[in-house]
Amino acid sequence: MRNEDFADIYEEIAAEAGAETAIAIYNMFKGQQIMFPQKLYKKEYIYRYIEENYNGHNVRELSQLFGYSDRRIRQIITEIRKKQEQQAEDTSSLPVT
């Protein structure tokens, strides 16, 4: 079987991911209309990844990885820092027993 043997979108899937994948997708979703979100990752994952991988100099790299603007990555970093500061305050205000 060649990729050209598949109909429409299945030909594209077979060319990109292989005939087995095209068949599996067909079997899972045949007859359904599917819309894929533009964002691949959940917000929680993106925030966690940025928190773990931001090194002070890689805003552009992170923005390209997730399809966000540099400005949005900086906003997320600010949100993460505020959350960390709040957690530190909450921890330091606990009564000592």
The pLDDT assigned to 97 comes to: 62
Average pLDDT, the chain: 93
Work out the average pLDDT over 64-91: 94
**How much is the pTM?**
0.71
Percent of the chain surpassing pLDDT 70: 96
pLDDT tens track for 5-49: 999 899 999 999 999 999 999 999 999 999 989 889 999 999 999
CB burial string 32-69: b at 16+ within 10 A, e below:
eeeeeeeeeeeeeebbeebeeebeeeebeebbeebebe
